[in-house]
Chain A
């Protein structure tokens, strides 16, 4: 689906069409002006020649010859193409067919009131004739107007043609680009969602798009290699560091078994718990890297509502025992495709955060709702909340906001929830619940229908 009003390619193509149209208009304007000018010059030359011929009559036979020549010209000139007039020194028209008082001499365009056609425009050549006479030869501008009109018609036709072709081209061009870029964007989303081995389609034409796709593919190959390398290193780290830690823990267990003295046994138990904490942190880092790194997850359809109920029931007694209230409002039958284990862990992280960072007597509520193709799984408390300035930082690894310094934790709980939400194509939203914090996992349904 193309959103035309937001299409950059359409904008570019339209701008191109506009430029082309302006160009055609400029070209036509220039041609029109030049042709008109040339035509007028030719007309002036014709009028001058005619005036010269009439003056030659005058030189041969003085005024009567000129009057006769003008009179015969008017009679012979049936098509009304040329207009003649001869005025005497008093301004009277003594021959000719122009119903107009004596004008000034020269070469110009003037208007007069025609008996038949009303106001008419003519091109005039008027010359003084010895003896105070004025000879006028003129041409009706209708001839030029006719040519103008014909040129205008052809111009409008050509312009409409250019516009239509341009617009059609613009839409086709936009659609083509949209399809090409859309395929690339789709693949990019797939990669962002963890399909790191996905590649852009490259045709064998070798055009700009193929160059772009090829360079993106090169980048993806490099990223994939780096991720693989990172996973190898972290896997090796997990093995190499956990083995000595396991041994340390075994030694402590052995020592605790061998030792009969209660006080030493207590100390050894405490040491075991310390080791367990280190191992727990290690496991949390590895798991977070795993989720963020895009390792293959077991994505299966499951009912989030069932999961939310189960986790809520599980935590309710622990909350009650600590003096907090846990409620839940779960819309039944809400299927998504994902890792139920990770979603359960995320919800559990959110609940533990809510219980850890709120005073005794607080109320915590789980809600599960759907809308806009998303499942919204949220945990709200009525504690102190997180300042809006700190919310983005709360999602960073190992960041523990000042208010949380005194409580236990690694600072990996929210980053994991965020990473899990993003691996499912969604996101984690932290919002002010006035009072308190509302943490919402937005999980897209991905075309899986809400089972009844």
Chain B
């Protein structure tokens, strides 16, 4: 009998187990539209279902007790509720909230053009850079097609939003780079020193940048070096102007790259007519070693050393008289060594540190002999930590030590200058996600310049607000401080720092393949170095304001990618030897770039065209003592053809490019004699590009594992 009762008990238990609880309901999104195919289930059980075409669901469970009802759908936040399975019929109406994943989250974009993997702002990849016609494989050349950059054809460096070239600074892995350009003589454009293939992230900021970057009044070019090389690979490049050989070896946790390059423009310049009378065309030789290692605990060590020697010699008119020609020879030796280490520390702190050394020596031989040598040691130490989901804290220390020595010898006369500029800085910054739609970056930077005992505080701030699924607005601003250039410091070592403040606002719309961006800015300058009749002081200043437009489209025309950028600039300043406010010689009020790339599958070729038009700039005329001259508008139409093929099973690219296809006659102003002729006028000669066109042919062969290439 007692067995019987036990059996009864067991049976009733089994019955209760099979009694079911049912769940039904409706799942909608933020617009009350039904969500189709959402997963509705009791977490930890097999029981659940997918929502129907009308967003409804119904399922049953034999489970009992407390469970969590879960609803998941890609792109939406998970929904959860604790429920009791008590054989009842339960009904739910659920509204899912869109998740802020990295695809849709609001990001700080004011002022910055980011490039690289996984970045959501406006991007230029390594491939974009090498296939941009007119850029000739130079990062700087490609960035000049973006809004905010000015075209100063005789110089080649980056001029941003009414700022002089020295106001744009380059940073590699957070550390200031002392000499980012090749060495050159006046009116022969410089190029960037660093190859685009070395970096996996590039941020070109045209204003309002983070407190982590200092000593730049106008713009920061922020480069993040690559991690371990992907493949073992040998690269051979043969160019109409030289060649290079590189080898990269990849082990499990280590990669080493060694490369050597040589360029000599002599044979090329013998074929193509030049505006310059070269005695020795520019030639460069050098090499580079890059070592990268990932430690077992996750730390990453990178070391890079490059050395290049270059020289050129030419005959030019004697600037004193412009009558006879004089011989000028420039030799340069350049060494860069960078060491960086990054790792995670206990307590979720992330550490990034970089130490860089640059030595740059220019030897100019002309009527006089001028030697200029700069040694620079720069460093960056940054600690960052995410606090909860809402704060990302960054703090760091920077130091810059620049020692510049110049010696001038003219016949028996000797003159020597030297400037040592040590500087230390500390910064603190917080990226604060206030809501899903609003993010703020608030930071401050303190700098101490030892030579003048200046202590400066630079607040920086930036806000971004998401206005729609694909659009956002942003504002940014701050104070920016910079040591004057060494030319001024030679004359007056105690010259105070120069200063700018930025205010900018932007609107950006971005949807797969298309980007529109509008940014307005206002910049004011104070304490600029000014040469008056009596002295060199800090009484210069001025403003720059303008509007930048950018449109990029990879979708509308099949197999095409194009961008259009337009910059309007209104700027005046007192600076250098200009004591009344004037539009400086490096500013064009209007700049328009159109970059077009087309992939022709049948020809296995990428064809590119880049058109540039920049309105005339002012130049200095000694006869009336002001920037009264007007250059021609800068006009260029460059063509680029990259043909992709296989040579003996090795991936090969043949690049062909021509600049200034239509042969525009661009004038960059005039060079005047420093002494007036007998009749009181100043003899002058027109400054033109070194050659009307530049034609380039190169073959790039990648020898390595399947699927490997140097891009």
Q: A and B, one complex?
A: no
